[in-house]
Structure 1
């Protein structure tokens, strides 16, 4: 929010402005084919004026929201693309894809990719994990010649469910603290909710998406590699170590957060902050890129100049992804600053629904209004925490409410969510296709997670 300024519009006109802005984005991008980057900047500007944000604060709001999104996304996607390019160029992605197919068979390759992503998604954030896995996904798709979405959706959804439901990711950890839930129980039951939710909304939905959109262009961000040009490809074990390194470093970081939330580690200790810095996603990926340069480059006889060109070539294709994702964050930032999400959540508090339903529904409204799943989860948990504290709920029921709130926060990813643009552009989908695949998937994931949470609430 802006200091000294209070939104005077009611929830209804604000909701109308938000709906009109979203419709305008879809019309400009789908009908008039205006570039998404230009569209998001234009509509963000118009929305800022329409919602009454002070004129002197409009440009700072746009740039701060854009920069805030880029601060997290650009480093992760840039470093992840470098790592992916090194894995792809060395022949490592193809070697790993061949090994996966040999072990699990062609028919179970999507399942294998999804399970691998679930394991990697335990410590890794959604966007970082997806970018790191992309070269393997594309290599498997190219090797088998099937629809890209058959392999990409199960993997992407695996990272999503782990990020939303399972500590030590920041959203569920913060919600756990706000609700006063037991962190270990949230972790255990979060997995109970996440795994079947992934199977239905990721693995099975991936089959549906592959039938509806059977495009097979698997070059993606990394270009096509002729296997005959790859000399001295790395061992599969080397590729696995390179890909697991960022996961292990990030696991150290998120594991420390888990211990801090459980009261086992003092956050004032110097070693704690040093370890967290080394295990932060950008630093972990930086270390992994440096290791990949040595293990997948110098160790195979590549020279420094050649490696520099290989790494540099990975940045060009992701520029559009990064800029559009930042512009999506700009639009979401304008909606947050305007008070649309807050006005809607305030108007819903007095409806009188059961606490677990109200928590999910408020998170859904916040998610649809401003885009960020983490913001929706944390804000909804903050709003519902007094009601949960005042209720006579068992520890298991409090955990179920926490997971229901998390489920609501992922509902219906669309044009105000930077993740919507990230997934769509990384997988080579246009806006219409992304809406019919990823938006629907996120809705299924949310509803399934909510129903599972309600079932746990009734049992515990």
Structure 2
């Protein structure tokens, strides 16, 4: 019965979002209360449970998302992102411009949210396509692939960061494995798929096709001489990854050599925590992208303030999604999930991917799919005696959460309008691309699971 109630609750959530058009935040809140009552939770425990889920989720991730948005905005407003893109294009040459876009999008995708990356890169990539006289989508698909993969697999992005915390996975190892998985996934779903996409939707690759690019953002264009250098720009964008990687490597060395903990290792562990990493990264960007370039501190802080306003609703959604997850756990649904798969031979990694994929296809939000999956899978790994690689479980959940983007996903419409595509062309390109990211991701995750 609890599983049936949960299924009905998810259907109500989908109905409220897709049919009633109620905002995701309100829909999640309503369904959280309804599920808590339907699952028989004591009335005096429902509100504390919802508050616990909300606070627990934002307590460990709110600062990360806020500082991540500030970091991306500071890099963009200083012209650092443009410098990275144009420098790589020059280094790669026009014949390999597609790979320049892949590398650029991957570098920036680590520091930027998916939508922010699109807003930043689309005008630049469009100008690149015009300069070398190739179809906009020929560069656009690899660009969106890189942004989607980094969003799904690599901290400090919302999905992998939140579910790493929920599963209790080492976020440094999630990042390390995520990079290993991301590289082949980007190649398969990006440059390789583009070759087939040209046959599936040839009209989408019309050289003259243009999208409503100017509707996405008023992107400031810089003279190259007025932008920060490539080295400092790339270093600032990659600093969160470098710092987390350094902390993880030192921790692994400590464990490998069986060294006892001391002040040095405790300090390294502290600065390697995501919140500390993003705080230090923003401070670095304030200097390299602002103060060092003679910008007034008031202008720098104005950029920071605007960036946080832009992600306010995302943070709210994350918190209420955490409430739904907590209701599922405290309502006892996990006990039934665990009982069903007790003694089952199905891999928890494959199970997490499958659940996340089904929820994603049904309701559109990758973040909601990931968090809902965490609420269902977490009790399984806690109560059933299974040996599972937690970082790979995080990546499997992330891979499932980007499955088959279609009309209930905001990203579907952003891509459609950005590249001036018809509905059929968008399904033949973007929807298949996201499906490839999800399927290729789980295949590479399962292969890596056999090795590590």
TM-score (normalizing by structure 2): 0.70
Q: Does 1:254 align with 2:248?
A: yes
Relative to 1, partners in 2 of residues 1:440 and 1:365: Cα closer, same or farther, differing over 3 Å?
closer
User: Do the aligned residues in 1 keep the contact of 2:353 with 2:398 (CA within 8 Å)?
Assistant: yes
Paired residue total: 401
Q: Distance in 1 between matches of 2:153 and 2:303?
A: 33
Once the two structures are superposed, residues 328-349 of structure 1 have per-residue CA deviations (whole angstroms, 9 ceiling, x without a partner) of 2222222222232331132122
Once the two structures are superposed, residues 220-256 of structure 1 have per-residue CA deviations (whole angstroms, 9 ceiling, x without a partner) of 6xx5233269983212222112112222222222223
User: Do the aligned residues in 1 keep the contact of 2:400 with 2:438 (CA within 8 Å)?
Assistant: yes
Q: Distance in 1 between matches of 2:90 and 2:224?
A: 20
User: Do the aligned residues in 1 keep the contact of 2:142 with 2:189 (CA within 8 Å)?
Assistant: no
Q: Does 1:294 align with 2:287?
A: yes
Match of 2:232 in 1: 238
Q: Distance in 2 between matches of 1:251 and 1:302?
A: 31
Match of 2:86 in 1: 98
Relative to 1, partners in 2 of residues 1:24 and 1:265: Cα closer, same or farther, differing over 3 Å?
farther
Q: Which runs of 5+ in 1 are unaligned?
A: 1-12, 122-128, 177-182, 389-397, 416-422
Match of 1:156 in 2: 148
Match of 2:328 in 1: 335
TM-score (normalizing by structure 1): 0.69
Relative to 1, partners in 2 of residues 1:225 and 1:141: Cα closer, same or farther, differing over 3 Å?
closer
User: Do the aligned residues in 2 keep the contact of 1:92 with 1:236 (CA within 8 Å)?
Assistant: yes
Correspondence list, 1:170-189, <5 A: none
Q: Distance in 1 between matches of 2:306 and 2:78?
A: 14
* 1:349 pairs with one of 342, 350, 367: 342
Match of 1:131 in 2: 112
User: Secondary structure of the equivalent of 1:227?
Assistant: coil
Q: Distance in 2 between matches of 1:47 and 1:332?
A: 11
User: Do the aligned residues in 1 keep the contact of 2:40 with 2:331 (CA within 8 Å)?
Assistant: yes
Match of 1:46 in 2: 34
Relative to 1, partners in 2 of residues 1:134 and 1:100: Cα closer, same or farther, differing over 3 Å?
farther
Relative to 1, partners in 2 of residues 1:135 and 1:324: Cα closer, same or farther, differing over 3 Å?
closer
CA RMSD for the aligned pairs? Answer: 4.8
Q: Distance in 2 between matches of 1:245 and 1:358?
A: 35
* 1:82 pairs with one of 70, 75, 79: 70
Relative to 1, partners in 2 of residues 1:130 and 1:317: Cα closer, same or farther, differing over 3 Å?
same
More displaced 10-residue stretch of structure 1: 202-211 or 308-317: 202-211
Q: Does 1:15 align with 2:3?
A: yes
Match of 1:448 in 2: 443
Q: CA deviation at 1:446?
A: 5.5
